[in-house]
Each structure stands twice: as C-alpha cells, then as structure tokens.
Amino acid sequence: MVRAIVGANWGDEGKGKITDMLAKESDVVIRYQGGSNAGHTIINHYGKFALHLLPSGVFYGHTTNIIGNGVALNIPYLAEEIDSLEKRGVPKPKVYVSDRAQVMMPYHMLMDAYEEERLGGKSFGSTKSGIAPFYSDKYAKTGFQVSELFYPDPLWEKVKATCEYKNVLLEHLYHKPLLVAEELYATLLSYRDMVAPYVQDVSAFLHGAIKEGKEILLEGQLGALKDPDHGIYPMVTSSSTLAAFGAIGAGLPPYEIKSITAVVKAYSSAVGAGAFVTEIFGEEAAELRNRGGDGGEYGATTGRPRRMGWFDAVASRYGCRIQGATEAALTVLDVLGYLDELPVCVGYEVDGEVTGEFPTTGKLMLAKPVYAMLPGWKCEIRGIREYGKLPENCRRYIEFIERELEVPIRLVSNGPGRDEIIVR
Ligand code: GDP
C-alpha cells in the first residue's frame, strides 16, 4: 500500500517524527519533491538528527530510501548526509536515487543568494538552497537530469551552452564572477562519481514493489500552504508540496496512494515572508516560540526564529482538503499547557464579511482572524499514552479542531520523542 505523510500548514508541523514512526513499518520511504531547503527532525536511539535530503527510513535496515525524480538533488549534500549518519553510528542505509532526478547545480545556489541580494528588503526569505533557480531551469528545460551525467560528450556541449547563457545574467544582472565551463564540467563529473552507486530506475522499482504488496511511504516536505498552485503564491516554494504530486515526483500511479496523513500543528508557525493571519508578536510570540517544538521554534536549516501564531482552522481545513487528507495527526500539543485560554481562528473577516474559505493571496492579505476562545488545561500532558487520560479541556481543544478540520484526528503527538504519541 502507498501512503503519504504531508503537511497541512506552512511546514515544520512535525512531519519528521510521524514519518519516522511510520517509516518503521515501511519497506520503502520516498522523498518526492523539494530539496535540502527544509529539515525533518528525528530523535531515536542513535541521537537527534536533522535530515534535509534523505528520507526518514534511513535509520532502519529493512527500508529502501528513495530520492524521487521530483526532488532537487544536491549531490555533494546527499553524499555528506549519508557520511554524517555513518559517522554517528547509523549502519549504511540503502539509498536509491532516481535516474530522472535533476541535479542541483552550484550556480543555482549562487543565483538564489544573488537574487535575494538583488531584491534586498523585498526578498522571499529564501533558504538560499538554490530551489527556485533549480525548478525554474527544470521547467524551462535547461536543467540536468542525473542520467545526463553519464554521457560525457553531450554533457560537455550542454555545459558550454549553459555557461554562455548563465554568464549573461551573472555579468549584467548580478555583476558577479562568471562561470568557467571546464570547471563546471569537472564538477559534474565528480557529482557523477558520487551519485553513481545510488542511481536506479526508481519508477520501475516501485512498479515491482507495489506488485509485491510492499508498504510504501511518500514523505512530503513543507506544507500545503507553500504549494506553488494552492498555497500563498508567490510566497511559496517551487515544487508541489501536495500528496497528489507524490505520484509524479516518485513515478507511481496516483490511484495507488490509499492513505494520506496530514500533519497539523496545534498552533501555527511559519518561516519566510507572506500573509499569516493568526500571527502574534512581541512577548506573546516569544513565549510560544521558546516553548514550542523541541527546544524552541527555530528553523532546522537556517536557525532563523519562526513566525508564530494561534491555531488557524480556516487555513488548516483548507490544507487538509487540498492534501486530500484521509486522517490528521495533531502535533506539539504538549506545548500549549501553559495557556489560560487558547484562541482558535474559526473565520477570516475580509471587508466586514466573515468567511471560512481560504482565499487567494490578495484577499488573504486583508483578512483579520475571528477567534473562538477555548479554556486551557494548565498542566503537563507529556507522558500520557491514552486519549481518555488527557485533561478534559485538552480533549475539548482536540475535538473542536477535529470538527473544524472535517478530518478525523487519529494521532495526537504530545512530545518530540518517537513514542510520545496517542493513537485514537
Ligand atoms: P517537520 O519539518 O514537519 O518534520 O518539522 P520539524 O522537524 O521542524 O519539527 C518541529 C519540531 O517539533 C522538531 O524539533 C520536533 O522534534 C518537534 N516535535 C515534533 N512533534 C512534537 C511534539 O508533539 N511535541 C513537541 N514538544 N515537539 C515536537
């Protein structure tokens, strides 16, 4: 069976932990979009890990971990990530890289940084991992597939043509050092040697795995609201964050995805710019940020403080819907035990009208939150393993959110550890 774990919000919902839990029962774990621009935090008996590119199954000897064709593949980063696991005592994982994945080029990362610099205060708050330039090239048909690394002559011709084109931008738009074709070519040959042991026809492998009835997990990165089509465009990421894209980014039939777990955070956090209706500021935000996640809400890749807000039922219901969630996992609930009252945004007021539908960006920028106030439970809920043992007000919060989401909350996460979970 194929299942997907995806974010219903802006990312950082705690997908890493839920994926890690489910990865244990999976034969195959697949990354199908994004690149090394976001991080999953996983805590297990080897220690605490922030994985950026590798699928979460790498800690289990029995899983095959796949970097699908939809991923922005930073090859030296991948090699380093595999290395760093081994250095920390994790047995060498089984990793397959799709021969159709495209290669993150050194100039993608440079141009990402140059573009942010050029935009100055109007920047997108990119992680400068090269993601936007990478996907621009992919869809402009000027990217490099992994498979192309293995054909030296056409590769050299393409490198020359690419340098010619990129150098116009580097010289005239960014006023930065130019690319040297010979150097880029040598770099790509070194990438080829690094990635060679992992390259596979992933789609064919998955075809076989599905036939054999294997458990396959699609691991999403970021969240629904960062999707380039259905998110808060243009403050989105450059590849689809939706479960549906799992079929494309891995190369499997869409109808095989039977179960979609949307990870929903018990409060809101976001990185980067963009409309964020329930955002809070000052002391109130600092307190939630410092209590949040595991040791505070700071970016796993950049260390930047995350923007904080109250639970947004309008955005989360939309996020679940657009993901096609068959169930939800509510995470980091334990963090909220300090509050007397919990605001939950149940509507957006735009020009005097209240709506429960998540709008397009222009309208979203004008939206003011309409809150329902729920009573707090004022105690520590970590360590509780049965739903019925949660304080009554805590259950009221969960059940209120469940009604708002219109999706059953099957998992409740009440701590960062992998066993800190309540299954309903
Ligand atoms: P992801 O990108 O969606 O995987 O999210 P992150 O890796 O950024 O996860 C957010 C942080 O929350 C990480 O530091 C996790 O260890 C932590 N975390 C996940 N679930 C819980 C939870 O239920 N409670 C607490 N306190 N922290 C959690």
Structure tokens that stand for 10 in this block: 């802006």
Closest residue by Cα to residue 31 from 44, 41, 40:
40
Is the CB of 415 within 6 Å of ligand 1? yes
Q: How far is CA 336 from CA 221, 287, 355, in A?
A: 24, 11, 26
pTM: 0.94
- Residue among 5, 9, 17, 409 whose CB has most ligand 1 atoms within 8 A, to mutate: 17
Cα separation, 200 vs 196, whole angstroms? 9
Please give the distance, rounded to the nearest whole angstrom, from the Cα atom of residue 316 to the centre of ligand 1.
17
**CA-closest residue to ligand 1 atom 14:** 294
**Cβ atoms of residues 65 and 77 within 8 Å:** no
Closest residue by Cα to residue 10 from 358, 290, 341:
358
- Report pLDDT digits (tens) over 51-67: 899 998 999 999 999 99
Q: Between residues 127 and 74, which one has the greater pLDDT?
A: 74
* Least confident residue range of 12-26, 173-187, 204-218: 12-26
Q: Which segments within 198-352 are labelled E, that is strand?
A: 199-200, 216-223, 257-265, 268-270, 279-280, 307-309, 311-312, 327-331, 341-350
DSSP label of 336 = G
For the chain, list the domains and their CATH numbers: 2-101+198-262 (3.40.440.10), 102-196 (1.10.300.10), 264-423 (3.90.170.10)
39 φψ region: left (φ > 0), alpha (ψ -120 to 50), beta (else): beta
- Report pLDDT digits (tens) over 255-308: 999 999 999 999 999 988 889 999 999 999 999 999 998 889 997 667 889 999
12 is catalytic: yes
Task: For the beta carbon of residue 43, count every other beta carbon within 10 angstroms.
Answer: 17
- Report pLDDT digits (tens) over 236-250: 999 999 999 999 999
Q: Which atom of ligand 1 approaches the CA of 266 most closely?
A: 23
| pLDDT for position 301 | 66
- Report pLDDT digits (tens) over 386-419: 999 999 999 999 999 999 999 999 999 999 988 8
Please give the distance, rounded to the nearest whole angstrom, from the Cα atom of residue 390 to the centre of ligand 1.
20
**CA-closest residue to ligand 1 atom 8:** 12
For CA atoms 390, 323, 109, 20, the dihedral sign is positive
**Cβ atoms of residues 300 and 269 within 8 Å:** no
- Catalytic residue from among 40, 52, 108, 230: 40
pLDDT of 123 over the 90 cut: no
- Catalytic residue from among 12, 99, 112, 334: 12
